[in-house]
Each structure stands twice: as C-alpha cells, then as structure tokens.
Amino acid sequence: MISERETMKAAIYPGSFDPITYGHLDIIKRASAVFDRLYVGVLNNSAKTALFSIDERVNMIKDVTSDLDNVQVEAFDGLTLQYALDRDVSVLIRGLRAVSDFEYELQIAQTNRKFSDDKVDTMFFITSLEYAYLSSSVVREMASYGRDISRCVPDSVAARIYEKYGID
C-alpha cells in the first residue's frame, strides 16, 4: 500500500533521458500537475554508453523544466528502488507508449513493489498520441543524419544534439 503520509505528495520519474524529448516533457508536465513534488531522476548507468554525460542530461532537463516550480532534476546511481527509498518517495512514474513498453514495465513495477514490501508502487501515464512514436534513440538516429528534429525535442536540446554529431 502507498502510505497515507506520502499519498499524492511526491513522485519520482526515473529514466535515462539521453536526451530528453517532448514525449518525456509531456509526462513531466502531466505528473507535476498531479503530485506536489516531482523528482526527475536521471540514471547514471556506467554499463551503458550514453551520447550525453550525466551532467549534460541533467542540465538540459533543468533548462526545459525551469518554468515548473515543483520539479527537481537530479542524477542517481544504482537501483531506482533504492533511490526512491532513500528519498522516502513511494510512487514511481513511467510512461507507456506501446504494448512492448507494457510488457517490460509490468515486470519492473511488480519487482519494485515486491522488493520494497509494497512501499514503492508505479503509476503509468499513457503517451500523448503525437509523441507515441518518439524515443531518445529515434531522435539520436535522425539527428545523426542531419534530419529536422524540431518536432521531437525543444530547440535548446536540438542544438546540443547537432553539436554532438558535428552538424551545423
């Protein structure tokens, strides 16, 4: 059970955000309207090679969420579940695009609930139709070939991606 004290108070939206897209931003805006405080947790996964460093990813998200007062962006290492327990937050937020997301997310959500003795639950936001196809990897792929990604990411983020690929 989600504890009384924490109900609807704070949530964590964890992810790689390599880089943040309009799909992520949509979830951040919707979740921040429901919860008093939303932590956007950027996973520092040393096993995965990212296009952007952890500091770059955190700073890009801070830039594009600066108008949302109850959103706090921070990096974290290790298990998402441990991060939630350390922050005393009992709700994780994830976005669902397709059935394939669901299959993967179902198992993780159940695992986190079991391993936290029901302390940490997961809530899902269904993607907005216009962003259903969008992922960080689609954006990276298109940008690397110089395609227009203005419909996928905010301008400040697009500029940083093109810079990484040496495209002006």
**Is residue 32 at the binding interface for ligand ADP, with CB under 6 A as the rule?**
no
Which residues, 35 to 74, sit near ligand ADP by CB under 6 A?
none
Which member of 11, 12, 27, 71 binds ligand ADP (CB under 6 A)?
Answer: 27
Which member of 32, 65, 112, 136 binds ligand ADP (CB under 6 A)?
Answer: 136
Q: Are 105 and 124 in contact (CB under 8 A)?
A: yes
Q: Are 156 and 48 in contact (CB under 8 A)?
A: no
Whose CA is closest to 18, among 129, 7, 48, 47? 48
Q: How many residues bind ligand ADP (CB under 6 A)?
A: 16
97 is catalytic: yes
Sequence letter at residue 82: Q
Which residues, 94 to 133, sit near ligand ADP by CB under 6 A?
94-95, 97, 101, 127, 131
48 is catalytic: yes
* Helix intervals (H) in the chain: 22-34, 54-64, 80-87, 99-115, 136-144, 155-164
Enumerate the active-site residues: 24, 48, 97, 136
